[in-house]
């Protein structure tokens, strides 16, 4: 703020800026509120952006085959030791070449900090984050997912993977059912 | 116009003549009745105000505010009060225990004391002394003592800083607050609250002279500072001093400060409404007798509450709009701007009264 005004000039400037502030908040008082009432709106107006990182899943093709090769790049990339991969070497009887075979892909949601380093590290596009965010359970052990065993078919809410309801800002998102 | 003194006279005659009690007993019973009424109104208005503050604040911040406890969150305050009542009160080590325990009561005494001066309706002014305004400012300054003792007694450096700030600020702003009241006293010619309201029968005080509305604005600013709210809440600047002078209070000790803060807001608004907007006096325009008669049909208590809550809302609007001032800015505002302005207004008012 320039402070080279006279005594009365300062008063005038002060009143002007105070008036601007009051005008802004007054306008805000009457705009529709942005609060979302979550449990009520989960089947109606809930919007969760597609890029939101809710949990890790395996990407699968039509035949539900995953692309993971147990290379453990994601396990090494993870800062929290969230991912644990168990694999064994298996010899191909035709070619005689040994290849890693995935036994268990353990992903501990409770330790995950959703940094996406594992997804970035993956050379095969085998894993991705989805916006399925309703993951709370009563037991920590239930947060340990075995991604190779489960076939992820969308989250707890219909259409959530696609983002749910269209994003509306400044609407009373309080509808139930 | 409904006159509440019918009810009070009836109770008085019931005690004195029908029940044949002496002076002592009838006055004692009346005092207890009035005390209970005041404390009940105090608690109820506190609940309304806290809920209003939370909702108004939320709406200014594009939120909904409390929505879960009861429909539209209306039981939120009851839950808060219940929580506060069952919390343990404990003192800090090496705190000055006596000051520590006395301080909340000083604050609440000042708050209830000033609250009792408000004129609710025609004939329902609880404390109606001939030195009303004078006594009112005297009682309200007990609150400063409460703030100061709380900060000093808490054995907490933040509390001491806050107490210093609070005392400096409240004592400074008492100045222009009193000058505002004095300019009203000059206009109405009486210090009695009832008399001030009666003097606004023709027109509210802000319409009586061309400068009184300025005094009203200054009163709102100074009153806001006096209630430690809004841009002047640096006594409890939560970003710098945790919670200021009531950092070390828990349970109802804190509850008293919380209550007093909101009731001080109401009292300031009530006094502003009484002194400048006519209290329970309906809106009268000179010459429009039909209009005046229609306005008289609305009971005085409704007029009082509408005016008071309108001012409360304006003060909340100010509080949730402006950022907190620095201590030097607060003192500069008072001593370099508001007080000289009030002295000019007082002079102009006196000249007006002398000449017009």
DSSP B324-339: PPPHHHHHHIIIIIIH
Q: What is the pLDDT of residues B291-317, one digit of tens each?
A: 778 777 778 888 888 999 999 999 989
Which residues of chain B neighbour A31 with C-beta distances below 8 Å?
62
pLDDT value, residue A113: 92
Is B147's pLDDT higher than 60? yes
Closest listed residue to residue B16, CA positions, set B5, B25, B6: B25
Q: What is the pLDDT of residues B3-42, one digit of tens each?
A: 777 887 888 888 888 877 778 888 888 889 888 988 898 8
Expressed in angstroms, the distance from the first to the final Cα of chain A is 52
d(CA B287, CA B157): 61
pLDDT value, residue B143: 84
d(CA B184, CA B349): 9
Residue B61 to residue A24, Cβ atoms within 8 A:
no
DSSP per position, A75-138: HHH-TT--EEEEEEEEE-TTT--EEEEEEEEEEETTT-----HHHHH-SS--EEEE-------S
Average pLDDT over every residue of A160-167: 72
What does R_g of chain A's alpha carbons equal in angstroms? 26
Average pLDDT over every residue of A21-31: 86
d(CA A37, CA A39): 6
Residue A25 to residue B337, Cβ atoms within 8 A:
no
Is A172's pLDDT higher than 70? no
**Distance from CA of residue A26 to its chain's centroid?**
35
d(CA B227, CA B162): 14
Average pLDDT over every residue of B154-170: 85
Segment of A26-35, A111-120, A145-154, B164-173 carrying the highest mean pLDDT: A111-120
Average pLDDT over every residue of A78-91: 89
Residue B220 or A175, more confident: B220
Return the minimum-mean-pLDDT range out of A118-127, A155-164, B54-63, B254-263.
A155-164
* Closest residue of chain B to A18, computed from CA coordinates: B322
ipTM of this model?
A: 0.73
pLDDT value, residue B209: 80
pLDDT value, residue A176: 46
Of A18, A24, A33, the CB nearest to B63: A33
Smallest CA–CA distance, residue B69 to chain A, in Å, is 13
Helix, strand, coil percentages (3-state) for chain B, rounded to 5, are 70, 0, 25
Determine contact: B59 vs chain A, CB below 8 A.
yes
Percentage above 90 pLDDT, chain A:
12
pLDDT value, residue A171: 55
Is A138's pLDDT higher than 80? yes
Cα-flanking dihedrals φ and ψ of residue B208, to 5°? -80, -35
Which residues of chain B neighbour A25 with C-beta distances below 8 Å?
60, 317, 320-321
pLDDT value, residue A3: 63
- The residues pairing with B119 across neighbouring beta strands, listed in sequence order, are B125
Average pLDDT over every residue of B220-234: 84
Measured CB to CB, residues of chain A less than 8 Å from chain B are: 11, 18, 21-22, 24-26, 28-29, 31, 33-35, 37
Which residues, 6+ apart, have CB-to-CB distance to B43 below 8 Å? B259
**Distance from CA of residue B42 to its chain's centroid?**
11
Average pLDDT over every residue of B85-89: 82
Which residues of chain B neighbour A6 with C-beta distances below 8 Å?
none
Which residues of chain A neighbour B63 with C-beta distances below 8 Å?
33-35
Partner A, chain B 67-96, Cβ-Cβ below 8 Å = 67
- Best of A33, A36, A38 to mutate (most B CBs within 10 Å, chain B): A33
Return the minimum-mean-pLDDT range out of A34-43, A105-114, A164-173, B213-222.
A164-173
Q: Are A108 and A18 in contact (CB under 8 A)?
A: no
Residue A167 or B74, more confident: B74
Average pLDDT over every residue of A5-12: 82
Q: Are B172 and B333 in contact (CB under 8 A)?
A: no
Which domains does chain A carry? 1-31 (no CATH), 51-146 (3.30.70.3270)
Is B80's pLDDT higher than 80? yes
């Amino acid at each position: 703020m320039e402070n080279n005004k006279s005594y009365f000039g300062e008063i005038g400037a002060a009143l002007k800026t105070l008036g601007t502030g009051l005008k802004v908040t007054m306008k805000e008082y009457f705009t529709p509120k942005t609060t979302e009432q979550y449990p009520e709106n989960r089947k109606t107006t809930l919007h969760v952006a597609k890029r939101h990182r809710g949990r890790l899943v395996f990407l699968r093709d039509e035949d539900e085959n995953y692309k993971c090769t147990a290379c453990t790049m994601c396990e090494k990339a993870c800062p929290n030791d969230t991912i644990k991969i168990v694999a064994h070497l298996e010899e191909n009887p035709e070619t005689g070449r040994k290849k890693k075979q995935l036994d268990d892909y353990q992903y501990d949601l409770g330790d995950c900090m959703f940094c996406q380093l594992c997804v970035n590290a993956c050379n095969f596009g085998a894993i991705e984050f989805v916006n399925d965010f309703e993951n709370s359970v009563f037991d920590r052990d239930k947060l340990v997912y075995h991604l190779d065993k489960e076939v992820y078919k969308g989250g707890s809410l219909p259409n959530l993977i696609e983002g749910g309801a269209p994003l509306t800002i400044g609407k009373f998102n309080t509808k139930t059912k | 116009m409904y006159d509440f003194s019918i009810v009070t006279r009836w109770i008085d005659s019931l005690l004195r003549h029908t029940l044949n009690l002496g002076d002592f007993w009838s006055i004692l019973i009346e005092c207890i009745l009035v005390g209970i009424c005041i404390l009940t109104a105090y608690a109820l208005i506190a609940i309304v105000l806290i809920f209003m503050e939370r909702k108004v604040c939320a709406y200014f911040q594009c939120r909904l505010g409390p929505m879960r406890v009861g429909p539209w969150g209306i039981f939120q305050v009851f839950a808060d009060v219940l929580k506060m009542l069952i919390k343990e009160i404990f003192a800090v080590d090496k705190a000055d225990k006596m000051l520590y325990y006395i301080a909340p009561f000083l604050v609440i005494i000042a708050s209830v004391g000033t609250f009792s001066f408000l004129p609710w309706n025609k004939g329902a002014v609880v404390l109606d002394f001939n030195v009303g305004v004078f006594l009112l400012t005297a009682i309200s300054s007990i609150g400063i003592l409460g703030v100061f003792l709380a900060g000093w007694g808490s054995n907490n450096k933040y509390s001491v800083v806050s107490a210093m700030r609070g005392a400096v600020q409240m004592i400074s702003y008492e100045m222009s607050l009193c000058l505002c009241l004095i300019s009203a006293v000059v206009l109405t010619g009486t210090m009695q609250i009832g008399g001030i309201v009666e003097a606004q029968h023709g027109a509210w005080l802000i319409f009586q002279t061309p400068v009184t509305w300025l005094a009203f604005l200054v009163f709102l600013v100074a009153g806001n500072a006096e209630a430690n709210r809004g841009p002047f809440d640096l006594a409890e600047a939560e970003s710098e001093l945790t919670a200021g002078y009531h950092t070390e209070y828990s349970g109802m000790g804190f509850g008293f400060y919380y209550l007093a803060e909101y009731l001080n807001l109401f009292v300031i608004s009530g006094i502003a409404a009484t002194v400048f907007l006519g209290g329970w006096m309906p809106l009268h325009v000179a010459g429009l007798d039909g209009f005046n008669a229609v306005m008289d049909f609305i009971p005085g208590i409704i007029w009082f509450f509408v005016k008071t809550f309108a001012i409360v809302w304006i003060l909340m609007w100010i509080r949730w709009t402006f950022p907190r001032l620095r201590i030097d800015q607060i003192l500069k505002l008072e001593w370099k701007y508001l007080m000289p302005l009030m002295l000019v207004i007082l002079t102009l008012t006196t000249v007006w009264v002398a000449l017009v």
